[in-house]
Structure 1
Amino acid sequence: MSVLKPPENIIRRFCSHAESAEITTLGQGNINDTFLVHAKEKSFVLQRINTQVFPDPQILIDNLHHLSQHLSSLKATTKQRWEDATLIPALDGSSSVCDREGSIWRALTYVEGSICFSHATTLLQAEQTGWALGHFHKRLIGLDAEKMKIPLPGFHCLGNYLEQYERLKGERREGNSPEIAFCQQIIQDQREGALILEKTVSKKKYPARLSHGDPKIANVLFDKQNSLAISLIDLDTVGPGLLQHDIGDCLRSVCNRGGEESSDKATFDLTFCEATLSGYFKAAEAFLLSGESELIYNGIQAITYELGLRFFTDYLRGGLYFKSNTPEDTLRKAQVQFTLLLDIIAKEDTIRKLTLQLSK
C-alpha cells in the first residue's frame, strides 16, 4: 500500500533537521514509494521498498551497496555531465532503516537540475536515452557479477512468466470482453517469436553481462539546461542479464510515440529507433559482439511481449504487482504493449537493417 508521506522518525535517521525538511512525492514509479527530501544540510531521495514485490529487500540494499561502491570508484570517462545514483547511508552508517510497521527505507543521491520524461518527444531525447544506456553498460564493466544477487527470481525470464500465466487458467475472470480476447490471442500467437532470444542465447556462448533491467526513458534523467542525459536511475534490477533485454526495453519505451496509456496510438517510430540506436552505439562503441548486436531486434520483440504478458497476468490477479488505480488500468497497459508488439513485428526488416548499419 502506498504511503502519503514518510514518517518523521525515518527522515531523522538520514538528516539532522527533519522537522524543517520539505517532502514531495517524486516520480511515477510502478513499484516503490519515492519521495524527495529537501533538508537543511542536503537533498536526497527517500524510498520505501515494496516488500510485496521484493520479499527480501536486503538483497536490494546489498546489491545497491556493491553497485554504489563500484560506480563511486570510477573516474569520469566523458566530457558530458554524468552523475551516478548511489546509496546514501543513514546517520549511523547503516544502509537502510526499518519503520514500526516493518517497512524498509533507503536513501539515494538526488541529481540536482534534472528532469525526466514519460515518453520521448524529440530526436535528441531519443538519442540521449540510447547514449545513457550505452554509457551505463560500459560503467558496469569491472563490477563483480558474483556480488550481485538476483532480487527477483525469474526476472526477465519469459518462460517463468508464461508458466505463471498458464497456472492462472483456472482462475481467470468470467467474461469475454474484446480487450481480454485480444490479449489472450496475442499471447498465444506471438509466443514462439518472443522466445527466440532466450533460446538462441542459451545455445551460444557469450560473455557474462550485467544489465540495468529497466532502462525505459522514464528512468533517464536529463539536464534541464541542455537536455542531455546525466543519469540512469531505478537500479533495483541491476544484475546478471541479457543486454538485448536492456536495449530492447530502451527502444520499446522511446519509440512508442503514443506513450504507455493509449493502445490506439501505440506505434513503433523508426526515426526514433535510429536515433536511439545511434546514441547507444556511440557510447557503447565495441562493447557488444557482432552476434549480440544481431539479436537486438529479438530483444525488442521479447521484452515488449514480456511486459504485455506481465501486465495481463497482473490484471488477472487483480493488480497486485504494478501500481494502478484499478485492475482495468493494468489491462489497458497490456493492450498498449501488445498493439505495439504487432507494429514492431511488421517493421522487423527495417529494424534489423538499422541495427546492422549503426552497429558497425
Structure 2
Amino acid sequence: MELILAPEILKTYGYTKENVSVKQIGSGLINRTYLLSPLSEDKQYILQHINTSVFKSPEAIANNLKAIADYLTKNYPDYIFIKPILTINGEEMAYINGEYWRMLPFVKDAISLEVISNPKQAYEAAKQFGKLSRLLNQFNVDALEPTIPGFHNLSLRYEQFVLALNQTSKQLKGLAKHEIDFAIDHKYVLDYYNSFIHRNDFPDRVMHHDTKISNVLLDKNTFEGICVIDLDTIMPGKFISDLGDMMRTYLCAFSENETDLSKIRIRVPYFESTVKGYLSEMKNNLTATEKELILFSGKYMIYMQAIRFLTDFLNGDVYYPINYPNQNLDRAKNQFKLLHELFVNEKELQEIIDECL
C-alpha cells in the first residue's frame, strides 16, 4: 500500500514526498519497515522505524553497527554488510518527533524467505551466519553494547518463569500444569549450561541473536546466500545463540504457532545442512567446549523459548502478541514438543555432528 511518511522523516535523508514513493513491507512484529523508491534514482532504500519499547537504547544499535562496519570495511572490504546510510547531517539515525528512524541500502536481485522449504536454504542461511561470526572472530567484542540486556540469558528467563509461577492465578496455573511440570523437570538444561559458562574456552563472540530464515538475503535466481540482515540484536553472546536459534527455527516444518503437536518433528536432512553450513565457516574457530555444545545449543534455545512463552501466558500475555486466548500456552506446548523430539533423535543428530567435525 502507498504511504506518506511525515515530511521531516524524508527531509532528513534529502527527499520529499514529491520525489519518492513509499510502501510498507515485511512481516516483522518489532520494527515498521518501508521500501523507499526515489523517482529520479536507479536505487531503492529500506526505511525503518525503531521500536523503542523493545530497543530501549537505539544509540547502542547505531554504535554497534558503526563499530562493526568500520572493522569489516578495513579488514574485509568485499563483504556485504548492510550498514545504515547517514542522514544529511551525518548522523547514524534520524530522531524525528520523539521517534528513531534509519535508512539502509536495498539489495537488488535478493530475496528473503518467510518459510524454509529445502535443506539447501538451511545450508546457505547457516553458512551466512557462520561467515559473519568468522569474519568478526578477532573483533573486540567488549566494544559492543547489549541492545537487549539479558536477551538470551537462560538464568534470567528461568527466574522470570519462577516469578510468574508464584504470582499467577490458580486458573492459569491449572491450565498450564503439564507445561509447568515439564519446565521444572528440564531445568537441568540450565544447570548443564551453567557448568560450562566459566570455562576459558567458552568465549563471548559477536552474535546476531535472531537467525531465522527471513534474516538472510539469498540470490533470487540461485538461492545462494548473500548476507545477513536485521542487525539490531548484534551484540556480545555465546555461539549457542545463533546456531541454537537456527536449530529451533529450521528443523521443524511448522512454526511455534502450530497446534497439532503430531506435526512437530525434526527434519534430519535440515539439521545436517544447518550444521554443515555453519561449520563450513566456523569449524576452525570453535573451541573444544563449543564443539562439545553444538547439539546442546538447540536444546538451550528451544527450552528458553518454551519457558518464555509459558512465562508470558502465566503473566497474562503481556509480551507476545496473541490472536486467541491460550495461544502462548499452545506455543509453549509446541516448543516443549520440539525439545522432546531433539532428545528422541539425539543419537542420530550427534553422529551427524561428529562426522561433520
Counterpart code for 1:51: T
Moved more, 234-243 or 169-178: 169-178
Counterpart code for 1:338: F
**Distance in 1 separating the partners of 2:324 and 2:317:** 7
Q: Is the 8 A contact 2:201 2:290 kept in 1?
A: no
Query: Which residue is 1:28 aligned to?
Result: 27
Counterpart code for 1:130: A
Counterpart code for 2:53: Q
Q: Does 1:62 align with 2:63?
A: yes
State the Cα distance separating 1:54 from its structure 2 match.
1.9
Q: Does 1:110 align with 2:106?
A: yes
**Distance in 2 separating the partners of 1:333 and 1:237:** 23
**Distance in 1 separating the partners of 2:158 and 2:248:** 20
Counterpart code for 2:50: I
State the Cα distance separating 1:302 from its structure 2 match.
0.5
Q: Does 1:90 align with 2:91?
A: no
Matches of residues 70-81 of structure 1 in structure 2 within 5 Å?
70-75=71-76
**Distance in 2 separating the partners of 1:110 and 1:67:** 19
State the Cα distance separating 1:168 from its structure 2 match.
1.7
Counterpart code for 2:249: S
- SS at 1:240 equivalent: strand
Counterpart code for 1:165: F
Q: Is the 8 A contact 1:52 1:321 kept in 2?
A: no
**Distance in 1 separating the partners of 2:74 and 2:259:** 44
Q: Does 1:222 align with 2:218?
A: yes
Q: Is the 8 A contact 2:179 2:333 kept in 1?
A: yes
Q: Unaligned regions of 5+ residues in structure 2, if any?
A: none
Identity level (%): 27
Query: Which residue is 2:161 aligned to?
Result: 165
Q: Is the 8 A contact 2:212 2:250 kept in 1?
A: yes
- Spell out, residue by residue over 1:212-239, the C-alpha distance to the aligned partner (whole angstroms, 9 max, x if none): 1111222111111111111111211212
Q: Is the 8 A contact 1:210 1:238 kept in 2?
A: yes
- SS at 2:198 equivalent: helix
Q: Does 1:10 align with 2:24?
A: no
Counterpart code for 2:13: F
**Distance in 1 separating the partners of 2:12 and 2:81:** 23
Counterpart code for 2:49: R
Q: Is the 8 A contact 2:155 2:190 kept in 1?
A: no
- Spell out, residue by residue over 1:227-264, the C-alpha distance to the aligned partner (whole angstroms, 9 max, x if none): 11111112112121110221111122111112332142
Query: Which residue is 1:309 aligned to?
Result: 307
Choose from 195, 200, 203 the match for 2:196.
200
Counterpart code for 1:140: L
Q: Does 1:50 align with 2:63?
A: no
Counterpart code for 1:184: I
- Spell out, residue by residue over 1:21-66, the C-alpha distance to the aligned partner (whole angstroms, 9 max, x if none): 2222232223222222222334222222221112222111211221
- SS at 2:66 equivalent: helix
State the Cα distance separating 1:343 from its structure 2 match.
0.7
Counterpart code for 2:165: K
Matches of residues 238-249 of structure 1 in structure 2 within 5 Å?
238-249=234-245
**Distance in 2 separating the partners of 1:232 and 1:121:** 18
Q: Is the 8 A contact 1:197 1:295 kept in 2?
A: no
Counterpart code for 2:94: V
Moved more, 56-65 or 293-302: 56-65
Q: Is the 8 A contact 1:116 1:218 kept in 2?
A: yes
Q: Is the 8 A contact 2:201 2:288 kept in 1?
A: no
Check 1:71–1:306 CA distance in 2 against 1; reply closer, same or farther (3 A cut).
same
Check 1:161–1:210 CA distance in 2 against 1; reply closer, same or farther (3 A cut).
same
TM-score between the two structures when normalised by the length of structure 2: 0.90
- SS at 1:55 equivalent: coil
Q: Is the 8 A contact 2:247 2:298 kept in 1?
A: yes
Counterpart code for 1:166: V
**Distance in 1 separating the partners of 2:33 and 2:323:** 17
Choose from 330, 333, 337 the match for 1:332.
330
Instruction: Report the number of matched residues.
Output: 351
